Every structure is written in structure tokens, then in C-alpha cells.
Structure 1
Amino acid sequence: MANTYYEAINWNEIEDVIDKSTWEKLTEQFWLDTRIPLSNDLDDWRKLSEPEKQLVGHVFGGLTLLDTLQSESGIDQLRKDARTPHEEAVLNNIQFMESVHAKSYSSIFSTLNTKKEIEEIFEWTNTNPYLQAKAEKINEIYKHGTPLQKKIASVFLETFLFYSGFYTPLYYLGNNKLANVAEIIKLIIRDESVHGTYIGYKFQLGFQALPEAEQAELKDWMYGLLFELYENEENYTDELYGEIGWAEEVKTFLRYNANKALMNMGQDPLFPDSANDVNPIVMNGISTGTSNHDFFSQVGNGYLLGSVEAMKDEDYLIGLE
């Protein structure tokens, strides 16, 4: 009998049921930006002030950079430490969708912005010191960290650092503006919720296998990293939102989502902020279902994307029995 050189993945023998359920969830909610009529937001866009337009551009430029980092570097590093072949398949799906997310922002730019404005957005994105600092910090962990440190960095990126950018479109959605732009963001948030929960679950498996002393050491490192990232994020938020006066509200939203990131990894919340402290207009935006555009009518099957819902606290607590 010949020796096995390479093993085929067998989805009929599942080592971890969370791999299968996550794959099914991610494929069920597959979407593409090309199915959303962004041009319908042009009337709203023209009514925004110049500082608001610049904020939207810079916010989405920053999100593009972070999604690019996650798709090009992050998932490659996480894949090296996969526990099962099915986990590798799930990470492949996540990597592709991160590329879809990054591309979606360019669709928004091409609809709302001039060529000169787009060039300014990417110049700002590629040189902003606070944005570059968080990209460098996360990427250095991806390159040199332990498997569990990489997962911590990934969850902080997915469930915390994106949200300084997500605040803007959710705020406008809550005020009945830029509904189609926000539709894309809500679909991205839906994906990121699954990504952060799944990678956080994989972190918990590894964390629980550590001796108590190593757990304590890693927790110290985790909370230290969160403080460092939050301090940088405060500066980034002040620069983005200072002129239009939203900075403090955004910081509350950031602290709320930092707690969610910790919950993803089975850890205690750090900040006192809860959903009740977040601007209710933003929470309303994040919890409103999608507009259910007939995204696939162009190809004749009339498939409708399901509604987007905010993650509930219990969604972050995957059982590890």
C-alpha cells in the first residue's frame, strides 16, 4: 500500500463542530459590494459638509488599510497554527472576505469621490502616524508573536480597532443618511462578528491548555496590549473626529467594543462602558436589519441576503465543553 503524501480534507469527519458551523455561517452570509446600489446615496453625500466628507473618506481609508493587513498578513499567520484542516478552510474563507471588505471601500470611493480626492485619501491613509502605528503593532505580533498572541492581536483588530471607523456610517444610518454605504458596513460588521468570535474561540482552546502561571503571564500581556492600542486609538479618534465634535462619543463606542473583544476570548471586560452608554443613534444603526436589496436579481435567482443583527452578549461565549 502506498504511503500518504498529502491528506484530503474530509468534511464528513469533523474534529471540532465549531469549524463546521462557522463555515456554514460564513458561506450562508456571502455577499459582494457590486450588488449594492451605492449611487443611490449621492443625494445624501452632496448635502454633507466638507469636514464630514473628509471624515468619511479618511475613516474608510483607515478601514481599507486594516482589512488589507488582515487579508495579506494576518490570516496567513493564523493559518500556520490551525488545529484542524477544517479550521484552515474557515480561515481561507475569512481571508477572501477580508479582501472583499477592502475592495468594498474602493467601490464607495469610486461612487462618492473624485480621482483627486481618492488620491488624497490614500496618501492620508498611508502616512497617518496613528493608523500606521496600529498597523505596525498588529503586524509585528503577526510576524513574531506566539500562536496565542497572534490570535489576541487578530481579535483586537476585528472586534475593537475597526470600530473607530464603523462609528461614522452607523451614525449616518441612524440619521437616515447614506443608507447603501451603511448597508455595506453592516454586512462587514456581520462578517467581523463571526471572525472575531471564531478566532476568540480558538484562542480559548489554547489558553485553557496552558499552565496557570502561563495563563496569568499571557493575560498581563493581553491587557497591556489593549491599553497600548487604546491609547493610540484615542489619539486617532481625536484627529478624525475632533473637528466635528464626536470624539468622546466614539471613544465610548471603542471601549464598549474593546470589552466585546475580551469577551470573545473568554476574558473579563476592562472598561465600565456598556451598550447603554453608546450613542443610541449608533446602536439603532447597528441593530437595524438590512434593506434586503435583491442583490442577485441580475443573475436571475432572486436571492435575498438575510438581515444583519447586532451580536448579543451570549454570542461571544461559545461553549468549550
Structure 2
Amino acid sequence: MSKALLDKAKTLEPMNPNKSTALFGGQSSGILNWNDIKYPHWYQMYKRLVGNYWQADEINMSDDLRQFASLTEEERDAYLRIIGLLSTLDGPQTRTALLLSLYATDPSVQSIMAVIAQQEAVHNESYSYVLSSVVSLDEQNASFQFGRTDPILLKRNEAITEQYNAFVEEPSIENILKTMVYTALLEGMFFYSGFAFFYSLARKNKMVGTSTMISYINRDELEHGRFISELFRATLHENPEMNTEVFSDWVYSRFQESVDLEIEWSKYVLANVDGIDLDEMAGYIKYRANKMLRMMGLDEMYPEHTENPMKWIRAYADNFDGTKTDFFEQKSRQYTKTSDLNGFDDL
């Protein structure tokens, strides 16, 4: 596999064409004409992303403040630990999205990653906003310490930490692809046991403000995961020397490892929470892994988990239809936002 390091994309190179010659390591002028990009359907993805604009303080948390004290001790503990987890994952995403954009030589990718980075910053701010609405400053700070002190969480995040830092140290095509694998896992699977906890509270009419905010984040992450999966496929298509059995085996092993760690984490943080079936949760995690593998153009790993075992989640999150884009056939198919229960298969 190629370890040749990439240079950061030039800001402006007027002698190069406007339409980039490659997503990474190519040539482009730096001038973005959305009507002249290599993957035209990505303009619609950009439009969907910017259409998802929201701010944390738009959500009324007054009922959550009143209800937090009435949660069980186990629910309060899980609430704080899961917020700590989400902040640990979303915080680095802002920087990782920006780093990917720095090495992208396609200006449409640069713009889309800039929007994703901004949304990840909003997500991280929202965790601070939620905690400041329901607990003291000391408790807020303690929750944000979990990502660097909790041994189960440290174990769970060790591999993604190593890969994200490897990309910083060695910005090669290989490390870009591997970073996108972990980003897809993060956007499409790592968050979801945490999301399920907040939706389970909402089922009992508890902490609905928090679950509303989580649903906004969930909607964003579905789009982020979709774009990263497409970017992964396109980058692999443009770099066929990376499309090897060795690399495929690496991807599948990372999915297996990540699923096992996510199940271990869910059992740890949700063990004593009423209303969540841990076996069902494990099945949901495997179902989400299958979804991400398919979106990345790979085979499912868990044939017994092709259906969502936690269908009740669909009532608490925005979602999109399951239309896929096959840019290898140079076809752009329409994505549409769904309402009510239509198209909630993606959850």
C-alpha cells in the first residue's frame, strides 16, 4: 500500500482546471463552480447539509431541568456518561473534517467538509448547553472528563484515536481512507447506543428537550455518514492500488472490533437502565454496522441482523430515504427528506 505523503492542497492555482483531476492528490485551480464538479450530485448533498442549520439554544430545556432530579440514579449516571462520550467523539470531528478538507484537491469536497466541521462544532456546543441546563458547573466538568479518564471509554476510543493521529502525522491516501472508515463508523454506529438511551427516556416522557436536540444531531450524522461513505468509495475508485484484499480485510476487522467495543460500552453504561434490552441493543449495533458497510460498497458482516430490532427509535429521529447514489455508473439519483415514518429504514 502506498505511503507517499500528500501535500496540502494549494489555495489558488489559476493554471490548473476548475474541475479537479482527483479528490486527493490531484490538480485544481481552487475555484469552485458547482455546475462543473467531478461528482455533480454532491451539490444536492451540500444543499441538504446547509438546510439542516440549527442552534442548540433554540431548544427549550426548562422541562428537562425540572425532570432531571426525578430520574433514577442509574438514568442520571448514564445521562452524564453518555454526554461525556458524545462530546469525546464529536469534539475531534470538527478538526478531522477540516484536516480532510486541507488535503482535498476537489473544491466541492472542501466546501462540504467545511459545513460538516461547522455542524460538528454545533454538536459539541450542544452538549455543553444541555449539561449547563440541568446540572452544576462541577458536574458538567466531571461529565466532560469521562472521555479521558473512564477506562472503558478509553479502551473503546483507543483505535480511533490512533488512526486520527496517524493521519495527522502521515497524510497519505492510505491514512485518508482509513480515517474515513473510522469517521463512517463514528457517524453511523458509535453514537447510536447513546442516541437510543435518550430516545428511551423520551418514550417515558422524560428529558424530551434533550431527545429533541439528539434527533437534530442524529439527522446531521446520517448525512455526514452518507457523504463520508460516498467520499470513501470515490477515493477508493480513484486509487485502485488501494482496492486490495489486504485493505478489505483491514476494514472488516475494524468493523468487527468496533462492534465488539460498542456492545461492551453499551452493556457498561446501560446495564441498569430500565427500558433498554441489552440484547436488542447489541442487535441494533450490528444492524447499524451492516448499514454502514453497504453504504461503503462492502458486504454485510451480520446476515442475521438485516432488520432494525429497535423500530421504536424511528418515532424520535428525523431521517432520509434509502436511495443510494452509484457514481461508478455516473448516475445521480434524487435524495429526499422524509416525514412521519416514511423511509425510517436508515435508522
Aligned residue in 2 for 1:127? 149
2:145 is the counterpart of 1:116? no
Contact 2:45-2:227 at 8 Å conserved across structures: yes
Counterparts of 1:277-288 in structure 2 under 5 Å? 277-278=309-310, 280-286=311-317
Task: Please report the TM-score for the alignment, with normalisation by the length of structure 1.
Answer: 0.84
Contact 1:77-1:142 at 8 Å conserved across structures: no
**Cα pair distance change 1:137/1:77, threshold 3 Å:** farther
Count of residues paired in the alignment: 293
2:296 is the counterpart of 1:273? no
Aligned residue in 2 for 1:181? 210
Aligned residue in 2 for 1:9? 32
- Aligned to 1:100, what secondary structure does the other structure show? helix
Contact 1:197-1:264 at 8 Å conserved across structures: yes
Aligned residue in 1 for 2:43? 20
Inter-partner Cα distance in structure 2 for 1:263 and 1:112: 39
Contact 1:77-1:143 at 8 Å conserved across structures: no
Q: CA RMSD in A?
A: 2.2
Per-residue deviation at 1:254? 1.3
Aligned residue in 2 for 1:296? none
- Stretches of structure 2 lacking an aligned partner (at least 5 in a row): 1-12, 16-28, 168-173, 330-347
- Aligned to 2:235, what secondary structure does the other structure show? helix
Inter-partner Cα distance in structure 2 for 1:266 and 1:81: 23
Contact 2:156-2:265 at 8 Å conserved across structures: no
Per-residue deviation at 1:78? 2.1
CA deviation string 1:15-73 (max 9, x = no partner): 3213211111011111110111112323332321111011111111100110002112x
Inter-partner Cα distance in structure 2 for 1:198 and 1:124: 29
CA deviation string 1:190-248 (max 9, x = no partner): 11111110110111112234548833222111010111112222221121011226333
Aligned residue in 2 for 1:223? 252
Aligned residue in 1 for 2:70? 47
**Cα pair distance change 1:153/1:216, threshold 3 Å:** same
Per-residue deviation at 1:75? 1.3
Inter-partner Cα distance in structure 2 for 1:197 and 1:85: 19
**Cα pair distance change 1:144/1:119, threshold 3 Å:** closer
Per-residue deviation at 1:80? 4.1
Inter-partner Cα distance in structure 1 for 2:41 and 2:88: 29
Inter-partner Cα distance in structure 2 for 1:132 and 1:175: 31
**Higher RCO, 1 vs 2 (CA within 8 Å, ≥6 residues apart):** 1
- Aligned to 1:47, what secondary structure does the other structure show? coil
Inter-partner Cα distance in structure 2 for 1:262 and 1:120: 35
Inter-partner Cα distance in structure 1 for 2:182 and 2:146: 24
- Higher share of residues assigned helix: 1
CA deviation string 1:236-287 (max 9, x = no partner): 1121011226333322221121112112202122122244422x4333323x
Aligned residue in 1 for 2:85? 62
Aligned residue in 1 for 2:7? none
Aligned residue in 2 for 1:36? 59
Counterparts of 1:173-212 in structure 2 under 5 Å? 173-211=202-240
Aligned residue in 2 for 1:97? 119
Contact 2:32-2:107 at 8 Å conserved across structures: yes
Per-residue deviation at 1:177? 2.4
